Amino acid sequence: MRDHAIRRVVIENAYIVPVVGEEIPSGHVVIEDDRITAVGPGSAGAAGEAGAVPEGAERIDATGCLATPGLVNTHHHLYQWASQGVTPDGTLFEWLVASYPLWARMDAEVVSGAATAGLAWLARSGCTTTTDHHYIFPKGRGDLFDAEIEAARRVGVRFHPCRGSMDRGQSQGGLPPDGVVERVDEILQATEDAIRKYHDPSFGSMLRIAVAPCSPFSVSGELMVRSAELARAHGVRLHTHIAETADEDEHCREQFGVLPVEYLDRLGWLGPDVWLAHCVHLTDKDVYRFAETGTGTAHCPSSNGRLGAGIARISDLLRAGAPVGLGADGAASSEMTPLAGEIRMAMLMQRARYGPRALTARQALELATLGGARCLGREAEIGSLEAGKLADIALWRLGGYHAAIDDPVVAFAYGQTPPLARLLVGGRTVVEGGELRTVSDAAAAEAGARAHRRLLSADLRR
């Protein structure tokens, strides 16, 4: 539920990177309630002027700070906070085979603790909007989907949970064991119930649902087609994993006679209401089709590196005009990865593959902000600092060691991420001075550790 208490905030003396439009070396942002009402150079105007300071406003002196839009995380698995460190040297398929039995033990208490820690960690790294892809629902273990939604409400970030699913176990040629998959009709009913109960399409929404069958190696063609029909009937977005590894290419050739993206295309799964995780192994035709159809990509560079999956063709996708955002991915394949750090990782990986001009610091920042907003269909609301948009803003402190670099965006993107001075979601402070203000940092960290212990404990084994 949205907080309708009116907030009045003025940020002053910041180096503002609005992402859209010119950067402002020393400027102000005026906020009323959850919206930005003015962005401009110098101090905010006097009473009666455009961009005036609202009466009773909180004034934030952002001297020495870089102001950016809040970061948008386009792919995650929050429950995986509880299973970090599994198969640290395995391929994706090896890692999944080792992880499925662990994930089959989870209950709502595990998900609550893991989601609380994972969401707190994201907020501490500048994230104001995040997705989550939850696709394992052990029977009789409580309401796992509700548990993560409640955690997001407590932490205070915008949340796009994706009701994931798997219906194709090993007996049907899939990768997961039969014990962790669901029946198609059960999946579709549970997904529709989640949309009806939680989805809020309004401007400024804190909670939107997406439909997200897991992957070609764990989901039937029937479920993919019917999921797309369900999502489009309700006007919600579609998400899945695709083209992550060479093993997946081989699986799709053997099972379907085509490569992964062509398989999705045949099922009607490319379009402006779709964003896809990873997309490491794309052909030239795939890149063209993504751009032609407006299909988005959630780029997860640290996870792709951790699993040895490869380097996605992000520079090619951007040149073609396809939407691209960044994703931290689940903590079990991207241990302790801060979302802000993925800006640097994306930039360096593209340069390692294509050369030093492949991705600039400003392009990488745009991936993490407006690019992610485009993937989620929210570019009119978030992703840039403009009057009329939501007041989701990150302030990064660039003093100290970072002051040795003249260009603030280079200082932000090239090295260690600078300290987060303030994080606002809809004008509400979620992080201040590097510490959470909505939930206790210590409590969130302990919730994650407790979820890990509970997941591995004997009392959750079948």
| Domain layout of the chain by residue ranges | 8-69+387-436, 71-375
How far is the C-alpha of 320 from the C-alpha of 313, rounded, in Å? Answer: 11
> For residue 119, what are the CA distances in angstroms to 126, 239, 390, 456?
11, 20, 20, 21
Residue 24, classed as helix, strand or coil, is: strand
pLDDT of amino acid 55 = 78
The CATH H-level superfamily of 8-69+387-436 is Urease, subunit C, domain 1 (2.30.40.10)
Which two structure tokens, joined as six digits, stand for 178? 């039969």
What pLDDT is stored for residue 462 in this prediction? 45
Q: Which residues contact 130 (CB under 8 A, 6 or more apart)?
A: 72, 73, 76, 119, 122, 152, 157, 158, 159, 160, 339
Q: Which pLDDT belongs to residue 54? A: 73
Say what the pTM is: 0.96
Q: What is the pLDDT of residue 347?
A: 98
Hunting for tokens 């899939």 — which residue is that?
174
- Choose which CATH entry (3.40.50.300, 3.40.50.970, 3.20.20.140, 1.10.150.110) describes domain 71-375: 3.20.20.140
Rounded average pLDDT per 10-residue block, the chain, 462 residues: 69 98 97 96 71 80 97 98 94 95 95 98 98 96 97 98 97 92 98 98 98 96 98 98 96 96 98 98 98 98 97 98 98 95 98 97 98 98 98 96 95 95 97 97 98 82 48
3-class DSSP assignment, residue 68? strand
Per-residue pLDDT at 44: 83
Q: Given this model, what pLDDT does residue 51 score?
A: 59
